[in-house]
Amino acid sequence: MRFTNENINDPNYPRLACTMATLQTVSVQVKEITDGLHWPLDVYGFVAVRDVVDRKRIMVFNRERDDYQRITEQDSYLTLTGPTRGVVMTIDPSYLEAKLKVRGATESEDKDLSKFAKTYRLGCYLPIKHTSKLCTLELQHYTVCSSVEATIRVQVIEGQFPRDFCGVLTASTDSESGVMISLLDFSSDELPVDADGSVKLSRQVVSVKKGGNLKVSVWQHGVGEEEDQEITAASFVAKEAETSTNYMPMKKWKCWMEVSVAWSLFS
């Protein structure tokens, strides 16, 4: 959101900001567990990326021991909470780091699940994988060329979100058709909402190709073998700056949500 409120069309505006190629993280999954591990696993630690902007860790997943995530054989994806800004990609190497542990009955019984650092750079299209003694960790991603940063905010502005509704809030772009980025999964809990109606998203930042389309959707999980169903959505055309607003009505439940997207270039 660094350049969201800048007047980039001002002829005197210093041209320090521009669109850039970015890494869009889709998911991180624990696969192929071995060496006596058994599902479910209580996982904590971090997964982070570093880019050429400032070389600081940008957390993608970060949990302390007492705030572990339980993953199962049927759902072994980590609940991502980042990145908190767009991750820039260039021909120079950047880094993916992970330090994950499995929680035991006591801290002395904890096990190192995955610990590594790998490089990535522009032109890296395959999933990033690392196999340790205990598992394979796989990061699914894609590259967005000439992209801008989109910071998403969702707010319930009328009515109440239905309590018995199990689903997921997603973001998707026209440059990667069919790829859904989970912003918030509320399969087993009520939608987490602040007093002002703001939805507590797990993730807020995605990368969108300049001039491309971004869609924020609410999906309802199917029952049994039924497929998930898109209930409502709000679409946006990517800008270089400013904030865009659209609405997601859930008329059946008499609930309206406002979606705001803050656009920004990179520097």
- Which position has the token pair 């054989």? 73
176 with 95, same domain: the answer is no
- Which position has the token pair 């591990």? 37
CATH at 179: 2.60.40.150
Tell me the one-letter amino acid at 3. Answer: F
* HSE, side-chain direction, 13 A CA sphere, residue 11: 0
Cβ within 8 Å of residue 116, ≥6 positions away: 97, 98, 130, 132, 137
* Residue 125, domain member (yes or no): yes
32 vs 83: CA distance, rounded Å: 25
174 with 244, same domain: the answer is yes
CATH at 97: 2.60.40
* Residue 13, domain member (yes or no): no
Cβ within 8 Å of residue 152, ≥6 positions away: 171, 183, 201, 204, 205, 206, 216, 259, 260, 261
153 with 111, same domain: the answer is no
**What is the per-residue pLDDT for 190?**
81
44 vs 22: CA distance, rounded Å: 27
203 with 236, same domain: the answer is yes
42 with 101, same domain: the answer is yes
157 vs 118: CA distance, rounded Å: 43
**What is the per-residue pLDDT for 163?**
87
**What is the per-residue pLDDT for 123?**
81
Count of H-run helices and E-run strands, the chain? 0, 16
164 with 244, same domain: the answer is yes
Last residue of one domain, picked from the residues 143, 177, 192: 143
73 vs 45: CA distance, rounded Å: 19
171 with 132, same domain: the answer is no
57 with 117, same domain: the answer is yes
* Residue 11, domain member (yes or no): no
162 with 244, same domain: the answer is yes
243 with 152, same domain: the answer is yes
Last residue of one domain, picked from the residues 114, 143, 172: 143
* Residue 15, domain member (yes or no): no
* Residue 6, domain member (yes or no): no
Q: Are 216 and 180 contacting, i.e. CB atoms less than 8 angstroms apart?
A: no
Last residue of one domain, picked from the residues 115, 143, 171: 143
**What is the per-residue pLDDT for 117?**
94
Name the residue range of residue 190's domain.
Answer: 147-264
**pLDDT per residue as tens, the chain (267 positions):** 677 777 767 766 656 788 999 999 999 999 999 878 999 999 999 999 999 888 899 999 999 999 999 999 999 999 999 999 999 999 999 899 999 999 999 999 999 999 999 998 888 878 899 999 999 999 999 999 999 999 999 999 999 999 889 999 999 999 898 899 999 998 777 899 999 999 999 999 999 999 999 999 999 998 877 889 999 999 999 999 999 999 999 999 999 999 999 999 998
For the chain, what is the domain count? 2
Predicted TM-score (pTM) above 0.85:
yes
Structure tokens at 186: 């509320």
164 with 184, same domain: the answer is yes
- Which position has the token pair 């980042």? 82
Task: Tell me how crowded residue 78 is: count the other CB atoms within 10 A of its CB.
Answer: 21
162 with 133, same domain: the answer is no
